[in-house]
Amino acid sequence: MAFYYDEPSHTFGEYLLIPGYSSEHCIPSNVSLKTPLTKFRKGEEEPAISLNIPMVSAVMQAVSDDKLAIALAQEGGLAFIYVSQPIEEQAKMVARVKNYKAGFVVSDSNLRPTDTLADVLALKKKLGHSTMAVTEDGSPNGKLLGLVTSRDYRVSRMDPSLKVSEFMTPFEKLICAHESTSLKEANDIIWDHKLNALPLIDDNQNLKYFVFRKDYDSHKANSLELLDSQKRYMVGAGVNTRDYEERIPALIEAGVDVLVIDSSEGYSEWQRRVLQFVRKNYGDTVKIGAGNVVDGDAFRFLAEAGADFIKIGVGGGSICITRETKGIGRGQATAVIEVAKERDKYFEETGIYIPLCSDGGIVHDYHMTLALAMGADFMMLGRYFARFDESPSNKVVINGQYMKEYWGEGSNRARNFQRYDTGENQTLTFEEGVDSYVPYAGALKDNVALTLKKISSTMCNVGSITIPELHENARLTLVSSVSIVEGGAHDVVLKNSTQVK
């Protein structure tokens, strides 16, 4: 007969941390959230790749493109560019992140000299930018002919059909710098000449970048940015179990730092074959994670197959309906606890530490701290990042509230049958994800900063200032449904609500 587990599986919302002793050194400003991304051997100083914050973004069309990858790397985390797109397009996204120069912005508001004031106003309404480059062909890297800013026109006194060439600031009157100019030199020019923006051009007068005055302080503030040995932002990418022999070389050529197999089920021959392909062709020089798993046996399978990190979670994502459609999965908290036990056992046996990524089941910020306390080294987040300006999905108004579109890779919209590869299906025969909306939350930087403050504060409450200390010191308790109610506001009339709890 079938095997039955004695205990039910639990979610993060069913646990609380027990406060522990906090010394005088256990304050949020002393907390380090640095954590390993890839495996390492006992005695090694550090792994090949570490994160400065325990966050990576999900391999999803609605979450992880190059724009979000840059924003997340600036905060110390790492994005995995989504795989459900042509190989060339994914490789281009990776290359854009690797080629991005911090502080040097490729122009996304561009005009031709033959465009009109009406075109200027339409572009400003669409993108919200007041500085627009006028190039010969209207491209981001065309020959620079001038600039248009809000000081160059007055809507009330000018005809909307007026050509840009008639009111732009021409190239001859611009202060520009060569593309070889360093960021420090560019900022000095901006301050010396009281500019808002400095165009950087090549020897042929082609526009390469802008450096903006407003970005100066934000660049100074990115103390945790995740950089490679050449001071470039780090980025990951997803691969599937179908076209990996072509996709992986293209991503490596584009400069990807780490790969992950994007699949709903990690305990499979198909994932082992991908890992074997990487090890056979690249040895340990290419780093690749695998998953997802929910128990110790599956963890050990992928560990022995050569995974650099392993993702935990089946059916716990907010847009995932795998448990409903297939009756398979496990409560995320129980899955993390059980896999972490096996990871620690494997470490004792082999001396190899394989980082764990908790993927799914995060509803509230404190769930992240619980995941870390239960043994995860970092979290993969989808819904969390989908809410921000930098995610690639559309911002829409639903019932008077700003929302962002968010859809699962198992939905028909994603058309990502490869993620649910059973070795024979060539199409998505039924959905395992939904198409939805999430409340718009603004800029990634502001939200991530707040979340990290919460995590750091909670870690201090349990007497830990590093994630390894949290693994050792955390004490957790299951809570009843009644105590969950007790944990929120109750038996009062809230000032912003007429509801009595």
Q: pLDDT digit string (tens) for 63-92?
A: 999 999 999 999 999 999 999 999 999 999
Average pLDDT over residues 365-375: 98
- Is the pLDDT score of 43 beyond 90? no
Contact 108, 127 (CB under 8 A): yes
Residue 493 DSSP code: B
- Of the residues 300, 387, 419, 460, which is catalytic? 419
- Of the residues 320, 330, 387, 460, which is catalytic? 320
Q: Give the contacts of 146 (CB within 8 A, at least 6 positions apart).
A: 113, 134, 164, 165, 168, 169, 170, 171, 174
Identify the three-state secondary structure at position 135: strand
Average pLDDT over residues 479-487: 83
pLDDT of residue 418: 56
Q: pLDDT higher for 408 or 336?
A: 336
User: For residues 317 and 328, what is the distance between their CA atoms, to the nearest angstrom?
Assistant: 13
pLDDT of residue 220: 63
Would residue 320 show up in a list of annotated catalytic residues for this protein?
Answer: yes
Q: pLDDT higher for 431 or 401?
A: 401
Query: Rounded to two decimals, what is the model's pTM?
Result: 0.80
Confidence of residue 325 (pLDDT cuts 50, 70, 90): confident
Would residue 26 show up in a list of annotated catalytic residues for this protein?
Answer: no
Looking at every residue in the chain, the average pLDDT score rounds to 90
Q: Give the contacts of 480 (CB within 8 A, at least 6 positions apart).
A: none
Confidence of residue 500 (pLDDT cuts 50, 70, 90): very low
User: For residues 357 and 37, what is the distance between their CA atoms, to the nearest angstrom?
Assistant: 9
